[in-house]
Chains A and B, each alone.
Chain A
Amino acid sequence: MGLGGRHVWLRHLLTASLGALALALPMRVARAATLTPKDVLILGRIFGFLDPAVAADGVVAVVYADGNDASRKDAEAIAGYFGDGLKVGTATLKPKLVDVAALGDGAGFVAIIAAQGASGAAVMAAAKAHNIVCASGEVDQVQAGKCIVAIRSDPKVEITLNRAAASAANVGFAAAFRMMIHEF
């Protein structure tokens, strides 16, 4: 027995389902560029897949764009999401607000989080100088090679990695983790 025969109603159900699906097609939710508390929490877990691993307590540079109030407020919010610190294995990471103009070569930081508008050459230069990861909520900036990894946790967790940027900064992740994210 195929789709015909005794169960014609199934064919109708399938048709109705596909129709409903077609109506749903255009509804793609716009992606937020700023990091949420959930994003930051997950970032800490993502840092747990860094290779080599974060082995000791450290400081994360939360970088904002020079002279950009919105960016600074975003960075302050991100730093606030750290609470008592991000747990990465047995290590605890604390945030430090840094003006991108004052980031220098990134010495003293175990990672960089770029607030809105802060990704760019200065951030990547610091990442390359000390082989540290740069994370952002701005997928387009990561795609442009201005940061290494982007995170979005709503409605589902999506992680994007720029392979060239990661390679240039000599930043690696565990292979199993890389199997589960978008790379380009």
Chain B
Amino acid sequence: MARPGPLRSLLLAGASTLVLSAVKAPHAAAQSVDYGALEQVFGEPVTTSATGKPQKVSEAPVTMEIITQDDIRRSGADNLPDVLQFVSGVDVRRDAFGDADVGIRGYNQAANPHLLVLVNGRQVYFDDYGVVAWNTIPVELDEIRQIEIVKGPNSALFGFNAASGVINIITYDPLGDSVNSVTAQTGTQSLAEGSAITTVHAYDVAGLRISAGGYLASEFYHPDAYGQVPEPERGSLSADGKAKLAPGVELELSASKSSSQTYNEIPAGILLSENWRTNSVGTQLAADTQYGLINLNAYHNGLAFDLPLLHSPETDDVYVVQASDLFKLSADHTLRVGVEYRNNTGQSSATSIFGGTIGYSLWAGSLMWNWDITPDLSLTNAVRVDSVFLGKSGPTVFGPYLPNGLTLADYDRSFTAESFNSGLVYKVTDRDTLRLMAARGLQAPSLVDFGYVVNGNPDVNPTIVGNYELGYDRDVPGLGSTLRTSLFYQTQTDVIGGLYDERPVLTPIGPVGLIDNIGSSHELGLELGVKGHSESGFRWFANYSFASVTDDLAIARTDPPTTNLDYQHGTPEHTVKFGGGYSIGKWEFDSAARWESSWTDYKLFVPVLPPGTPLLSAVRVANYLSINARIGYKLTERLTLSGTAEQFNQARIVTSNGLPTERRFLAKITAQF
């Protein structure tokens, strides 16, 4: 297994030298991708999350949604999953106060491994379990410029785990934007929450934004909880600095720390107390050169994770170095060439989760080609190839054999995986846009899938996600609205089985069960959405999502169940979301509702029950309606008071096998300066 070493330093130094030597003679361009300035020109959000090229969202060759800072504020939400829950095609299952899983187009599950989440392009997805712990993401809601949600696989740009979709959280630019605010919030569940953000600028050449935030609260009602139930809490500190080194050249440095203590649902289907400590440090160099827009990006993510009940502390380290060049080959052809090196390592004691160390290094190359065939017709093709080199170290238990009956030599595995995205965008009229898309995405096995001490399997393959999609958008200026529709067919092959889906293997130390690929699944889906506003201050949205999943997995469906892997019954078929708002003078009024049809989840009961009692039990999540409302009042130019009622229509709703989600009332004061 490759470890952090001089190679990365050498690569970074060499590439930096190359870029600085190629910078054009005096250029005074704005930042490489100035989201704010470009949005002001084009009158709509700009994204790079579709192809790596800056694009108007309406022209991106993917189906995507943008949540703006205004949307975040008006939602009244105090956490990211609650902000995301009203987006078409996005599923949110809340298991406890501080634990929620977010899925795109179904396939959502506890510790959902299908979704890639990034903050300014840096992954906040953890490779150990293949999970996003939303409570640990070191970003405050007030420092977010926009949240970009790409639906469907986008591995050709982002690599592994951009399988069901990508959520890229874009914060304000420390150099071009000035965000200074303090918030204090309280509410039910004994909530005490606050955040502070400040930005300082040194003339026009350097900027630094520092943010901090956190909360203390009481857990939802939990009479039947297993183990110790912690009081949920979160703390976060981050700094993001950017400087102009030369005209057209910017260097960004960022660092963050966060901590989270929550009652969290683990993949086995049970809530346990979890402690998370994360840290990150990264640097990015962007240069507008005669060879195009060159980006060098390097970062390290660190995680210390513990399930106190199971005494299984582990650490996870990810090092990533990325380089890309985006350039126009001619008036109609744009290319993006990228390379990436990644090294991740999961480490634990000899008797704990990994039984030592597991990890892989990865080399990837990618190419994106965008062809403006006519001003109204464009074709984008992107491909990426990932080569993975797996390795493991740790004590063996019976001679050369690990507890799973394999040898360390069995982990000397390498494999190559390919992904692509292809999209045709046709502006049929000034009001109508048609998109035709096809993609092959990849979901990597987690480090637990590869190397869990008792059932990890080095031979498990990535899940391949195919997506075939037709999208149609229509602007309806008379209503100030845009209608967006998507019809898609998705396939998943080599689905990675869970803890309960082990393949029995006879090894020299006896029979063992190994995590394995267990079959396929496919989905037919439809999304219809409309969003608009009027000059008089009204705004509205409504969307409907349909998802029909069919599993073809090599597992037996029994009663009582023997597995909790069930995408077919675990995905709500129908979801309806709608809402509206009105701004008048110093007041803002908003309300949003979400209705979800019923689905099935699975819960693990602890083995202290009488013999013969089934471990797993199906939990029917009945269809439910949840309604939120917020009122905001601008007390002065700098002070805003707001009150939010979340799920005010019901005191408790079962939204998963976890703790029923409770009604919340929040009061917040925000000072901006």
Residue in A10, A42, A180 whose CB lies within 8 Å of B524: A10
Does the CB pair B43–A153 fall under 8 Å? yes
Q: Answer yes or no: B550 CB below 8 A from chain A CBs.
A: yes
Chain B residues positioned under 8 Å from A157 (CB to CB): 41-43
Question: Once bound together, how far apart are the Cα atoms of A84 and B28, in whole Å?
Answer: 25
Question: Once bound together, how far apart are the Cα atoms of A29 and B475, in whole Å?
Answer: 13
Question: Once bound together, how far apart are the Cα atoms of A27 and B427, in whole Å?
Answer: 11
Residue in A1, A10, A24 whose CB lies within 8 Å of B487: A10
A144 smallest CB distance to B (angstroms): 15
Indicate whether A1 sits within 8 Å of B550 (C-beta atoms), given known contacts A25-B429, A155-B475: yes
A4 smallest CB distance to B (angstroms): 10
Chain A residues positioned under 8 Å from B375 (CB to CB): 158, 160, 182
Question: Once bound together, how far apart are the Cα atoms of A159 and B43, in whole Å?
Answer: 12
Interface centre among B30, B55, B332, B431 (most CB of A within 10 A): B30
Does the CB pair B28–A42 fall under 8 Å? no
Q: Fill in one digit per residue for B20-50: 1 if any A CB lies within 8 Å of its CB, else 0.
A: 0000001111101110011011111010000
Question: Once bound together, how far apart are the Cα atoms of A57 and B423, in whole Å?
Answer: 44
Does the CB pair B40–A45 fall under 8 Å? yes
Interface centre among B55, B332, B431 (most CB of A within 10 A): B431
B574 smallest CB distance to A (angstroms): 12
Q: Answer yes or no: B489 CB below 8 A from chain A CBs.
A: yes
Question: Once bound together, how far apart are the Cα atoms of A49 and B30, in whole Å?
Answer: 6
B433 smallest CB distance to A (angstroms): 10
Does the CB pair A27–B28 fall under 8 Å? no
Chain B residues positioned under 8 Å from A2 (CB to CB): 489, 524
Residue of A nearest to B334 (CB): A179
Does the CB pair B548–A7 fall under 8 Å? yes
Q: Answer yes or no: B485 CB below 8 A from chain A CBs.
A: yes
Q: Answer yes or no: A14 CB below 8 A from chain B CBs.
A: yes
Chain B residues positioned under 8 Å from A25 (CB to CB): 428-429
Does the CB pair B28–A53 fall under 8 Å? yes
Q: Fill in one digit per residue for A36-62: 1 if any B CB lies within 8 Å of its CB, else 0.
A: 000000100110110111010000000
Question: Once bound together, how far apart are the Cα atoms of A139 and B550, in whole Å?
Answer: 51
Does the CB pair B432–A24 fall under 8 Å? yes
Indicate whether A52 sits within 8 Å of B37 (C-beta atoms), given known contacts A17-B485, A156-B430, A157-B42: no
Chain A residues positioned under 8 Å from B474 (CB to CB): 24
Q: Answer yes or no: A102 CB below 8 A from chain B CBs.
A: no
Q: Answer yes or no: A12 CB below 8 A from chain B CBs.
A: no
Chain B residues positioned under 8 Å from A153 (CB to CB): 43
Q: Answer yes or no: B477 CB below 8 A from chain A CBs.
A: yes
Does the CB pair A179–B53 fall under 8 Å? yes
Chain A residues positioned under 8 Å from B432 (CB to CB): 21, 24
Q: Answer yes or no: B664 CB below 8 A from chain A CBs.
A: no
Residue of A nearest to B35 (CB): A176
Chain A residues positioned under 8 Å from B288 (CB to CB): 51, 174-176
B430 smallest CB distance to A (angstroms): 4
Question: Once bound together, how far apart are the Cα atoms of A177 and B32, in whole Å?
Answer: 9
Residue of B nearest to A43 (CB): B41
How many of chain A's residues have a CB under 8 angstroms from any CB in B? 45
Indicate whether A176 sits within 8 Å of B293 (C-beta atoms), given known contacts A1-B550, A25-B429, A51-B29: yes
Does the CB pair A28–B429 fall under 8 Å? yes
Count of chain A to chain B residue pairs whose CB atoms are closer than 8 Å in the complex: 132
Interface centre among B43, B292, B475, B550 (most CB of A within 10 A): B43
Does the CB pair A45–B37 fall under 8 Å? yes
Residue of B nearest to A155 (CB): B430
Does the CB pair B489–A175 fall under 8 Å? no
A96 smallest CB distance to B (angstroms): 24
B316-341, CB < 8 A from A: 326-328, 331-332, 334
Question: Once bound together, how far apart are the Cα atoms of A77 and B522, in whole Å?
Answer: 59
Chain A residues positioned under 8 Å from B328 (CB to CB): 175, 178-179, 183
B438 smallest CB distance to A (angstroms): 16
Q: Answer yes or no: B372 CB below 8 A from chain A CBs.
A: yes
Does the CB pair B42–A180 fall under 8 Å? yes
Residue of B nearest to A180 (CB): B54
Chain A residues positioned under 8 Å from B40 (CB to CB): 45
Chain A residues positioned under 8 Å from B43 (CB to CB): 42, 153, 156-157
Does the CB pair B429–A174 fall under 8 Å? no
Q: Answer yes or no: B56 CB below 8 A from chain A CBs.
A: yes
A41 smallest CB distance to B (angstroms): 9
B334-381, CB < 8 A from A: 334, 372, 375
Chain A residues positioned under 8 Å from B28 (CB to CB): 51-53, 55
Residue of A nearest to B32 (CB): A176
Indicate whether A7 sits within 8 Å of B42 (C-beta atoms), given known contacts A55-B28, A155-B477, A176-B293: no
Interface centre among A26, A45, A174, A179 (most CB of B within 10 A): A179
Chain B residues positioned under 8 Å from A13 (CB to CB): 526
Question: Once bound together, how far apart are the Cα atoms of A179 and B52, in whole Å?
Answer: 11
Does the CB pair B487–A49 fall under 8 Å? no
Does the CB pair A3–B524 fall under 8 Å? yes
Q: Answer yes or no: A172 CB below 8 A from chain B CBs.
A: yes
Does the CB pair A175–B32 fall under 8 Å? yes
Question: Once bound together, how far apart are the Cα atoms of A71 and B454, in whole Å?
Answer: 81
Residue of A nearest to B568 (CB): A1
Question: Once bound together, how far apart are the Cα atoms of A176 and B46, in whole Å?
Answer: 11
Instruction: Given contacts A17-B472, A51-B248, A180-B38, list 4 more A-B pairs with CB under 8 A.
Output: A24-B429, A155-B430, A156-B44, A173-B29
B residues with CB within 8 A of A = 26-30, 32-34, 37-38, 40-44, 46, 53-56, 58, 247-248, 288, 292-293, 326-328, 331-332, 334, 372, 375, 428-432, 434, 470, 472, 474-475, 477, 485, 487, 489, 522, 524, 526, 546, 548, 550
Interchain Cβ contacts under 8 Å between A and B, 28 examples = A1-B550, A2-B489, A10-B524, A10-B526, A13-B526, A24-B428, A24-B474, A27-B429, A28-B429, A29-B429, A29-B431, A49-B29, A49-B30, A51-B28, A52-B27, A155-B475, A156-B44, A163-B331, A174-B29, A175-B293, A175-B328, A176-B33, A177-B38, A178-B328, A179-B53, A179-B54, A180-B56, A183-B328
A residues with CB within 8 A of B = 1-3, 6-7, 10, 13-14, 17, 21, 24-29, 42, 45-46, 48-49, 51-53, 55, 153, 155-160, 163, 172-180, 182-184
Ranked nearest first, the 8 interchain pairs of A and B with the lowest CB-CB distance are: A174-B29, A183-B331, A53-B28, A29-B430, A45-B41, A52-B28, A1-B550, A157-B42
